[in-house]
Amino acid sequence: MARKDSLVNLHAILVRRRDALRSALAGDLTLLRELRSESPGDVIDAAYDSAQDEISSQLAEVESRELANIENALERMKAGTYGTCEVCSGKIPLVRLNALPYATMCIDCQRELERSGAGRYRESSREEPVGGELEY
């Protein structure tokens, strides 16, 4: 698939996730449930599993954070900067965008950032699988 087509596809995925997350934060898990049946094993999945009993404040925090990331990605799409690394201005590989649609940095810059001070973040994210960003 051409990069442009992939980006169109990612845009559709992001919009649907945004809508599902907005609904979930409003207490309606129907959309999350629908997305879950289509794309198992991702952040939505984890969020839904935790949401089955109740929407905990922690879950709401995770969803809010993902929602903010998604809205940021959609803004970047509108501005035409989506898929471009914020640090080195290089193209973020599609394989990374597909795994993490709201990535704003290429893997090299991400690693560099983590090396230079975000070690604590990685440490804590390992113990918190729900909403943890995948490394690609």
Q: Does 100 bind Zn ion (CB under 5 A)?
A: no
- Which residue in the set 85, 97, 100, 103 belongs to the binding site for Zn ion (CB under 5 A)? 85
Please classify residue 37 by burial: count the beta carbons closer than 10 Å to its beta carbon, then call 0-12 exposed, 13-18 middle and 19+ buried.
Answer: exposed
Residue 84 is classified by DSSP as B
CA–CA gap between residue 126 and residue 120 (Å, rounded)? 10
| Minimal distance, residue 84 CB to Zn ion, in Å | 9
Strand partners for 91:
84
CA–CA gap between residue 75 and residue 30 (Å, rounded)? 26
- The residue (of 90 and 129) whose beta carbon lies closer to Zn ion is 90
Let me know: does 59 contact 47? Beta carbons within 8 Å: yes
Q: Which stretch binds Zn ion (CB under 5 A): 14-22, 23-31, 85-93, 115-123?
A: 85-93
Q: Does 106 bind Zn ion (CB under 5 A)?
A: yes
Q: Does 88 bind Zn ion (CB under 5 A)?
A: yes
- The residue (of 90 and 119) whose beta carbon lies closer to Zn ion is 90
| Minimal distance, residue 28 CB to Zn ion, in Å | 37
Q: Does 107 bind Zn ion (CB under 5 A)?
A: no
| Minimal distance, residue 112 CB to Zn ion, in Å | 8
**CA distances (Å), 60 to each of 48, 51, 104, 123, in order?**
11, 9, 23, 22
- The residue (of 58 and 89) whose beta carbon lies closer to Zn ion is 89
- Residue numbers of the site for Zn ion (CB under 5 A)? 85, 87-88, 90, 106, 109
